[in-house]
Amino acid sequence: MKRLSPICFILIIATLNGCGLLSSSTGGELTGVQGRRRYFEPDPHNMVFIPQGSFTMGAGDQDMAWLQNVMTRTVSVNAFWMDQTEITNNQYRQFVHWVRDSIMRRTLANAGIDGFLKEGEEFEELDESIRPLNWRTRIDTRRNEDQREALEELYLPVHERFWGRKELDTRKLLYEAQWIDMQQAAHPRNRFDFQTQSYSGWVYNAQGERVELRDRSALIMNLTVPVYPDTLVWISDFSFSYNEPMTNLYFWHPGYDHFPVVGVNWVQAFVFCIWRTRLLNDYLVANRNPMVHRYRLPTEAEWEYAARGGLSHGTYPWGGPYTRNQEGCFLANFKPLRGNYADDGGVLTMRVASYQPNEWGLFDMAGNVAEWTASAYDESSYRFVHDLNPTYERWARPDDPPVMKRKVVRGGSWKDVEYFLRVGVRTYEYQDSSNTFIGFRTVRDFIGSSSR
């Protein structure tokens, strides 16, 4: 056997030291991994910081007789970020346009037109159907006949066109959402067995089908969702009422850009959060930052805690027991008195932030439009949810009865009486229904210590 020279031994020892195996740089002490990047979370755009805290959740004033769906209970929530206003038409339109443009680029790539898929060694082995899109190549249907012909299938067919206008078929604006179902992953039967080196449980996919859990892919939910709002709700929500101008103009006209988006059901709001998460994290990854952020709908407890604005026993977000200020002006957009809609300054929805914010800087936590939450509705949920970050959530399957598809709605709207504006009042709507009086806002988990 050939002997190693003393110089070789020195090189080996130096290599081990360089790898940290001899721990000479730490003196043999437990110091943690060194050289980690210090993290500081900047304020997200148009979001308000909500500090951690405890509060008495539930009705702070008289409830409806025999309603029995609101208990008072002390709960605690972690810190989080929350949208300062409800999601507006223009903000939601960014989602719709992203979906439109991504479908167009994928269609052009499938038609064999170069430049709309990313190129490089890391993408060569990927099938073209899943290869990332190249967003830098410009779509030009005016001067490029090949592009124009390839995208013809995305427009309304000739026999469906009104006055012959060529318009995009909004029924084809579908978003392919993907997320990991942590609730099912955490179930004891679905844990990875290190002795057998396998899974042995089963899960339900997003379509409600029972799937054998053979690997992690079964826990990845996939759902294709139409993203365009239901603009016809301005007619279908009312009987013997003229609202055609709102159907024709509300979502796309610049005059309504900063009004809250409506006609969006709970599932659409849910996938909007997935898209917004992807939008930010894709940007962070491209700039070599950690992919950590997640946008979502607020839980029922988070929504009420934020609406109270640190005022423990207030009836409304502004803290007082009345819907008017000292000058006699209404403090929110709702249905005052016996239906004098205009008395508060707006007949229908109003521009967001038209009224004063609560103590934490959140606008329209009462009135304008009610808001979806992540929580499923159950009359007795206050009795069984945890007192730490409480919520009752379930993914309703298509074959579930309607009672299992109820989602908690909070805040009251422009068409509601003052009772629904109270911070402790809860009601519900079905997750697959869209209305003229329900919108949403998103939250983002705060990372690290909540002391700022």
The reply to whether 251 and 269 lie within a common domain is yes
Q: What is the C-alpha separation between 407 and 300, in angstroms, rounded?
A: 10
The reply to whether 188 and 81 lie within a common domain is no
pLDDT score, position 128: 76
- 424 and 301 belong to one structural domain: yes
Q: What is the pTM of this model?
A: 0.91
Residues 305, 242, single domain; the answer is yes
- 39 belongs to a structural domain: no
Residues of the chain with pLDDT under 50: 1, 6-18, 20-22
The per-residue pLDDT for range 155-199, each reduced to its tens digit, is: 999 999 999 999 999 999 999 999 999 999 999 999 999 999 999
pLDDT tens digit sequence for 211-248: 999 999 999 999 999 999 999 999 999 999 999 999 99
Considering the domain architecture, whether residues 246 and 349 belong to the same structural domain is answered as yes
Last residue within a domain, chosen from 185, 212, 229: 229
Same domain as 374, residue 300: yes
Q: Are residues 261 and 167 in the same domain?
A: no
Count of structural domains within the chain: 2
Q: What residues make up the domain containing 437?
A: 50-88+230-452
pLDDT value of position 313? 83
Domain end residue (candidates: 229, 248, 277):
229
- The CATH code of the domain that includes 288 is 3.90.1580.10
Question: Is there a single domain that holds both residue 348 and residue 361?
Answer: yes
